Amino acid sequence: MNKTFLQPRLVKIGGSGITKSLSIGGTSSVSIQTMWKDGIDNIVDDDKALHETLKQINDLQALGCDIIRFAVPDTKSAKALVKIAQNTSMPLVADIHFDYRLALECLKGNVAKIRINPGNIGSRDKVEAVVNGCREKGTAIRIGVNTGSLPKDLAEKVENGIISRTEALAETAARECEVFEELKFDQYVVSMKASSVEETVLSNEAFASKYNIPLHIGVTEAGPLITGVVKSTLAFSKLLNEGIGSTIRVSLSSSPENEVITGREILHECGLRKGGVTIISCPRCGRLGFDVHSFLDRWQNRLLAMDKDITVAVMGCIVNGPGEGKHADLGIAGAGDKAIIFKKGKIIHTINAKDADIIFEQELNSL
C-alpha cells in the first residue's frame, strides 16, 4: 500500500544581522546541518579561538553546510554563540537542555534557531517563555525528541509492550507540537531521533502522515564513521525518496566535515542537490603506479569545497585510468613510475609522481 505524506509548511530561519536567510520545508531544497564538536565557552575572551572557529565555519560552508548547531550548556557558551553569530553569515542553532534561561540569553543575539527538548526544559511556563522570546525575535525553534528522553508514561507503555518505541517517539513529538500550536507559534521544526534505521524511518513516516510540520531527520548516536554513514544513508535515502525530511544531520563520531560531506553525497545521490565537484576514484590494487589514497587524503576536502561543477578522476594505474575516467573533466593516474594527467580521456601530461600535486593544481585552476 502506498503511504501518503503531507507537504511540510515553511519555516524561515536566519535573516537578521549578517545571518543568511534560509527556508526549511515547503518546496525549499533540503538543507545540511552539522554540530560543533567542541565547547565554545573560551571564545568569549579569546579572539584567536573566535578567529579559528570562524575559519572552520567558512570551510564547512564551502563544503555545502547550511546550518551549524552548537551545544550551549552554560551562560558563557550562550554569550560565545552570540559573539560567533555576530561574525558569520552561517545560520547558527543553540542546543539547549534543562535551562530555558540559556535560550533567552542566546536570543539576545542573531541565533537563527533554538533547539529544545521541551521534555527536559521543565514546566510549561518555561517553554512558553522560550516560545515568546523566539516569536518576538523572529527566531525558529526545533523540537528535538529522541528515544532516550521519552515522557514517563510513554516510556512505561513501551516497557510493558503496550506501544512500540516508534509510536512513543511520534506521540512524544505530537504532544510537544500541541503546546506550540496552542501558543499559536508555527515557526518550528521537529526531529524524532532513534539510533536504529528502522525506528528512525517508522517514526518519521508516522509523523509525516499526520502533520505538515517540517522534519529535521537524523539517526542519533549513529556510531563511528563507517557505521554512521551506512545507517544515515539507509534511513535518509528511504525517507528523502518519500519526500520526508526538510533538513538533515548526519551524526558521526567523526569530524563535522565528514558529516557535511556524507550529507551532501546522500542528497546528491538522491537527486536533491546538483552541481559541485564529483570525485571518482579507484580502490587501488597491486597494479598501482600512483597512491590514490594519499592523494585523496590531501585533495578530497579541497576539491569538494570548490565552486566548480566538474568530475575529477583519481586512478591508481593506466590500465583502467583514462578509460574509466574518460568522462572526467580532469584526471590523474599512475603510469609505471610516472603519473599522467588527462582531460576527457586525453593525456595532456606525463610527469614524475612527485610533481603530481603541482601540475594537477595548475590544470584544476584552468578549468
**Computed over its alpha carbons, how large is the radius of gyration of the chain?**
23
- Cβ-closest residue to ligand SF4? 316
Strand-pairing partners, residue 164, are: none
Question: Of 226 and 285, which has the nearer Cβ to ligand SF4?
Answer: 285
Among 56, 38, 64, smallest CA distance to 261 is for: 64
What cell numbers appear for 71 in the block? 551545544
Strand, coil or helix: 198: helix
Question: Of 216 and 284, which has the nearer Cβ to ligand SF4?
Answer: 284
Strand-pairing partners, residue 189, are: 142
Closest distance between ligand SF4 and the C-beta of residue 348, in Å?
19
Greatest extent of the chain over all pairs of C-alpha atoms, in Å:
72
Question: Of 109 and 316, which has the nearer Cβ to ligand SF4?
Answer: 316
Closest distance between ligand SF4 and the C-beta of residue 316, in Å?
3
Question: Of 179 and 319, which has the nearer Cβ to ligand SF4?
Answer: 319
Query: Cα–Cα distances in Å, from 169 out to 38, 59, 150?
Result: 28, 35, 7
Among 85, 119, 94, 87, smallest CA distance to 35 is for: 94
Closest distance between ligand SF4 and the C-beta of residue 172, in Å?
48
Q: Which residues bind ligand SF4 (CB under 6 A)?
A: 282-285, 287-288, 315-317, 319-321
Closest distance between ligand SF4 and the C-beta of residue 233, in Å?
23
Closest distance between ligand SF4 and the C-beta of residue 300, in Å?
17
Closest distance between ligand SF4 and the C-beta of residue 335, in Å?
10
What cell numbers appear for 156 in the block? 512505561
Helices 356-365 and 292-304, packing angle to 10 deg: 30
Question: Of 69 and 284, which has the nearer Cβ to ligand SF4?
Answer: 284
Question: Of 317 and 341, which has the nearer Cβ to ligand SF4?
Answer: 317
